[in-house]
Amino acid sequence: MLFLFSCGTDPRQQTRIPPLPSANDSLRTEAALQALTRAINQSSPASAYAKRARLYLEMGRLKEALTDIDEAIGRNNTDGTYYLIRARVLQGLKQPQKALDNAQRAEILGADSPELYILMADVWQQRNQFAKARLYLAKALQMAPYDGEAYFFNGLITAKQGDTSQALALYQQSLKLKPRYLETYNQLSSIYRSLGDLGSALTYNEQAIRYFPEDARLTYGRGLIYHAGGRLDSALTFYRHTVQIDPTYYAANFQAGLILQRYRAYSQALANYNRVQQLNPQFPRIHTYIGFCQEQLGMYEQAVASYTQSARLNPADGQAVAGMWRAQRRMYNPNPYNSVLLPDEDGKSATSEPNAAPVQMEIQTIKPRTQLSTPGDSTRANR
């Protein structure tokens, strides 16, 4: 449990806690957590709050980590490592500006570690400030030449700048140096899927799932691979498994809805679209998809309301406007034999059906400039 006392050692020599410890490490982490809690209850030192915050961070308990590190900084605001911990927590909470502010404060106070510079590189690359990002990655690699995360972010920047082959080489190097780094697998799998190399995409996804069997992004990614290959039943299975792991993963509900809509299982598709709308009311054109399913189920009044809402939010959505008028006519002149809105026999969408293009929401993949079409893909990838 030497890592518990790393806050007071040379950051260059720290051994970072793995993102997901093994079962034995989990037991040790829980024991350490209890020991730190006892220390806090006895004397409440700032260092104990900071160490417990780091443990919470590595356990994924970000809100608790933020509470502890705020308390630590409140008791001692001159320790740069405390601000680094808070920067990492804020990064995990998707607050990049606050993360950057705290990382810069850590640097001013003398924090000097690959962890700090990789975090700053990540924040700058998110803003497309690639020169600044590469500067910090160079600092990180100067201190730790075999840091897999540094190679990963170099690959991410390279991919954003359009050099896919070099990005893939950097990702491969990242895996060699840090084979349990989840983000590298996500990027490799997603890029190969975008290129139409579904075999390679599946290989990297399978490797990652062996390390992280219950990670929702990986099961969702497996669904996207099968979806792109036309294996819709398998894709649907993995989308459903994704929402079992993480009930808030609305992108998986949407993809499942697309497949169920294609199968004309409109009640099930509608349930998935409603879940998307519940979790993310701003999801693009979700009211159009909801309205389409309601229309097919004869729920014309509800369909009119959904289409109207979609047209109000996006006046350029011609399908919503047309659907609104069509559903209004059907309210007064229902025709049970009118199948103009149903997918035709070979599974292709009829012209009035909402576009069933997959929407990838969580895995932030940098797509190559040149994309190859994938035969048999039932829905074209559209970010």
> What is the CATH classification number for the domain harbouring 82?
1.25.40.10
Instruction: Cite the DSSP H helix spans in 127-230.
Output: 130-143, 148-160, 164-177, 182-195, 198-211, 216-228
Residue 13, pLDDT above cutoff 70: no
In this prediction, residues 206-232 reach a mean pLDDT of: 95
Cβ atoms of 86 and 73 closer than 8 Å: yes
| pLDDT tens-digit series, residues 299-317 | 999 999 999 999 999 999 9
Radius of gyration of the chain, Cα coordinates, nearest whole angstrom = 24
The first and second tokens of residue 41, run together, are 């209850």
| pLDDT tens-digit series, residues 249-262 | 999 999 999 999 99
The answer to whether residue 279 is domain-embedded is no
Q: Give the number of domains in the chain.
A: 1
19-33, 58-72, 332-346: segment of lowest average pLDDT? 332-346
The answer to whether residue 377 is domain-embedded is no
Cβ atoms of 89 and 115 closer than 8 Å: no
Q: How many Å from the N-terminal Cα to the C-terminal Cα in the chain?
A: 44
374 by DSSP, 3-state: which? coil
The answer to whether residue 283 is domain-embedded is no
d(CA 67, CA 275): 31
Residue 382, pLDDT above cutoff 90: no
The answer to whether residue 264 is domain-embedded is no
The answer to whether residue 47 is domain-embedded is yes
**Average pLDDT, rounded, for the chain:** 83
Per-residue burial over 16-50, b if 16 or more Cβ lie within 10 Å, else e, is ebeeeeeeeeeeebeebbeebeebbeeeeebbbbb
- The predicted pLDDT at position 30 comes to 72
d(CA 301, CA 306): 9
Per-residue burial over 210-229, b if 16 or more Cβ lie within 10 Å, else e, is eebeebbbbbbbbbbbbbbb
In this prediction, residues 243-253 reach a mean pLDDT of: 97
Please report, rounded to a whole number, the percentage of residues in the chain having pLDDT higher than 70: 80
Q: Confidence band (pLDDT; 50, 70, 90) for 15?
A: very low
Give the type of residue at 73.
I
Residue 373, pLDDT above cutoff 50: no
In this prediction, residues 129-158 reach a mean pLDDT of: 97
Contacts of 40 (CB under 8 A, 6+ apart): 48, 49, 52
The answer to whether residue 81 is domain-embedded is yes
The answer to whether residue 145 is domain-embedded is no
45-54, 112-121, 143-152, 271-280: segment of lowest average pLDDT? 45-54
| pLDDT tens-digit series, residues 178-205 | 999 999 999 999 999 999 999 999 999 9
Q: Confidence band (pLDDT; 50, 70, 90) for 383?
A: very low
- The predicted pLDDT at position 146 comes to 96
| Predicted TM-score of the model (pTM) | 0.75
The answer to whether residue 359 is domain-embedded is no
Give kind and range of the element (H or E) at residue 108: helix 96-108
Cβ atoms of 289 and 354 closer than 8 Å: yes
Domain of 89?
24-112
- The predicted pLDDT at position 35 comes to 79
